[in-house]
Amino acid sequence: MGARGILEELSNALEDSPLHRTGIAILSLLALAVLLIMALADARLISLAFMADNASFLLVPALTSVAATMISFAVGILGAIPMGLVRSFGPRLLKQGGLRAVIAAPLYGGVTSYVEAIRGTPALVQIFLVSQVSGIIFPGNPNIPFWGGVLALTLNTLGYQSEVFRAGFQSVNQNQIEAAKAIGMRPRQAFAYVTLPQGIRLITLPLVNEWVGLFKASALLGVIAVPELNWAAGYLGSTRSHPIEAFLMVSAAYLAIIIPLSKAVGYWERTHRIPGLGTPEPGRGRRAGLRRPVPAR
Amino acid sequence: MITVRDLHKWFGDLHVLKGVSLDVKKGEALVIIGPSGSGKSTLLRCINLLIQPDEGDVIIDGVKVNEPKIRPEWVRQQVGMVFQSFNLFTHLTALQNVMIGLTKVKRLPKGEAERIARFELERVGLADKADAYPAQLSGGQQQRVAIARALALNPKAVLFDEPTSALDPEYIREVLDVMTKLAEEGMTMVVVTHEMGFAHNVADRVLFMADGVVVEEGAPEEIFERPKKDRTKAFVGKILG
């Protein structure tokens, strides 16, 4: 088998298997990182010994970052589902008039302005604002940086997640709801057994995106003295005067958390896919149809 | 079994149903024909209250159902519906589609619901497709699952809204066969359809609607062979060629 044969085998493997594609991507990334670090060390810009000595220092900050993100994200989901509901069905209730419209109008107006406010201001500003306010309400409380930060991230992700859920609910076909009603389901049951399970399948990947975005935003919590990963990098950099090593290590830590998680969810999504529902698989459909036939050997 | 009296429905300024009355006896199959936009689908949706009528009565098995004190969900359990575009729940298998009304609406235990659902799938000839998702089934198979889903709730009547209009020609037969068998077993049915063969052979009565009113009603051979009204003649002439 010549070079062309190997290339062909490789390209077939890549097209056929998402696992292979993921593996290749991660291996390339690792190779790049190793090359970069070796080049920097070779140029005496960084000290490998420092990195080896201080890697374990990042463990607690990494857990802090993950905990802050996980808590905010989970609480965010609980709040974002009703908010997404208000955003997607509010306009219809407003049109119906009567008591429903009177209840729906302030809800819809409130949620919509909240979403606009969160999406229209920098997360950093939101974090400062929340931490100042919580500092005044609970003066001197040692837990305030962390919990104030979690609160700020929660308020932030609420704004984005509710839009993700709104999109999910709105993309559930209206004929599915009509069918649910036709077998005697109440509106609440139609939501719980049809809209919600279908909507969640449609938004798995956008939700993972939001998690990744939120995890990266947690790096901002360092500015209000939460000892998370980015804060740890600044600390190592300034107290031990090795800033490049510190930020390289922290970058690696972020990647080491984000890539496996998003790949794992992506893999789960592919293996639990229901035919005809959800985002089309990459590399299927149009591209698969254009695949060149493999010549006989 | 189903009586509709002087039913009116407006969508904004559009007067869609202008005083429609009809009567379907127990075990009867009524076919409704008419040009598109004549209000056939709206009429069906008013019978199971998917659309709330503005004036008139809908009476099911002696009970006036378009009353504030009657829950529409209760009415829809009495009167099943089969849609033009099947509307199977895309996230559920065929078996789960048939079961969900039994477990969630009728609150039957899972085992019993599954037994009934398998029986209904068997009845429409799809026992072997129980674990397939809608996207893995042909249009004809999907529509038969949808019929099984409606039958599973043991309704007093079933409404069919153009059940074969969205099907490729090769799948129409299998759906009509299931419906014919159902009519022979004595199910009360109201069928909006353009399938004249089915109307001719299976319907006890045919009702011709146009512009929101019932133009003419009678035995199939009367409507198709000896229509009295000019509008009926014109329509029947067009569809029979």
Q: Is A140 left (phi over 0), alpha (psi -120 to 50) or beta?
A: left
Cα distance between residue B228 and residue B208, in whole Å: 11
> Chain B contact for A197, CB < 8 A?
yes
Neighbours of A182 (CB within 10 A): 27
Closest CA to A33 of A189, A240, A255: A255
Residue B44 exposed, middle or buried by CB count within 10 Å (0-12, 13-18, 19+):
buried
- Residue burial B196-212, b: 16+ Cβ < 10 Å; e: rest: bebbbebbebbbbbbeb
Q: Is A276 left (phi over 0), alpha (psi -120 to 50) or beta?
A: left
Taking an 8 Å Cβ-Cβ cutoff, which residues of chain B contact chain A? 48, 50, 72-74, 76-77, 80-81, 83, 85, 87-91, 100-101, 104-105, 133-136, 146, 149-150, 153
pLDDT band at A291; cut points 50, 70, 90: very low
Cα distance between residue A207 and residue A292, in whole Å: 35
> How big is chain A by its Cα radius of gyration, in Å?
24
Which helix H or strand E contains B108, and what residues bound it?
A: none
Average pLDDT score, chain A:
86
User: Which residue does chain A place closest to B160, by CA atoms?
Assistant: A182
Which one of B87, B92, B137, B142 makes the best mutation probe of the A interface by having the most chain A beta carbons within 10 Å?
Answer: B87
Rounded to 5 degrees, φ, ψ at B49 are 60, 25
pLDDT in tens, A248-287: 999 999 999 999 898 888 888 888 888 877 655 544 443 3
Whether ipTM > 0.90 holds is yes
For residue B142, give both structure tokens.
Answer: 């999907």
Residue A178 C-alpha, separation from nearest chain B C-alpha, in angstroms: 8
Average pLDDT score, chain B:
93
Which helix H or strand E contains B145, and what residues bound it?
A: helix B139-152
Give pLDDT, residue B55: 93
User: Which residue does chain A place closest to B47, by CA atoms?
Assistant: A182
Cα A203 versus chain centre, distance: 11
pLDDT band at B207; cut points 50, 70, 90: very high
User: Which residue does chain B place closest to A176, by CA atoms?
Assistant: B87
Closest CA to A220 of A141, A157, A266: A157
Predicted TM-score (pTM) of this structure: 0.80
Rounded to 5 degrees, φ, ψ at A200 are -65, -35
Higher pLDDT, A10 or B145: B145
Which residues, 6 or more positions from A123, have their beta carbon under 8 angstroms from its beta carbon?
A152, A153, A156, A217, A220
Integer distance in angstroms from the first to the last C-alpha of chain A? 10
Which one of A183, A200, A203 makes the best mutation probe of the B interface by having the most chain B beta carbons within 10 Å?
Answer: A183
Give pLDDT, residue A280: 55
Whole-number percent of chain B with pLDDT over 90: 89
- Residue burial B124-149, b: 16+ Cβ < 10 Å; e: rest: bebeebbebbbeebebbbbbbbbbbb
pLDDT in tens, A226-259: 999 999 999 988 888 888 888 999 999 999 999 9
B64 three-class SS: strand
Q: Is the model's pLDDT at B53 over the cut of 80?
A: yes
**Contact across the interface for B77 and A183, Cβ inside 8 Å:** yes
Neighbours of A217 (CB within 10 A): 22
Cα distance between residue A213 and residue A228, in whole Å: 16
pLDDT in tens, A139-177: 888 888 999 999 999 999 999 999 999 999 998 989 999
B63 three-class SS: strand
pLDDT in tens, A77-98: 999 999 999 999 888 888 877 8
B74 three-class SS: helix
Which one of B86, B104, B131 makes the best mutation probe of the A interface by having the most chain A beta carbons within 10 Å?
Answer: B104
Give pLDDT, residue A277: 78
Q: How far is CA A53 from CA A245, A248, A249, A252, B78, in A?
A: 11, 14, 12, 16, 74
Mean pLDDT on A200-211: 91
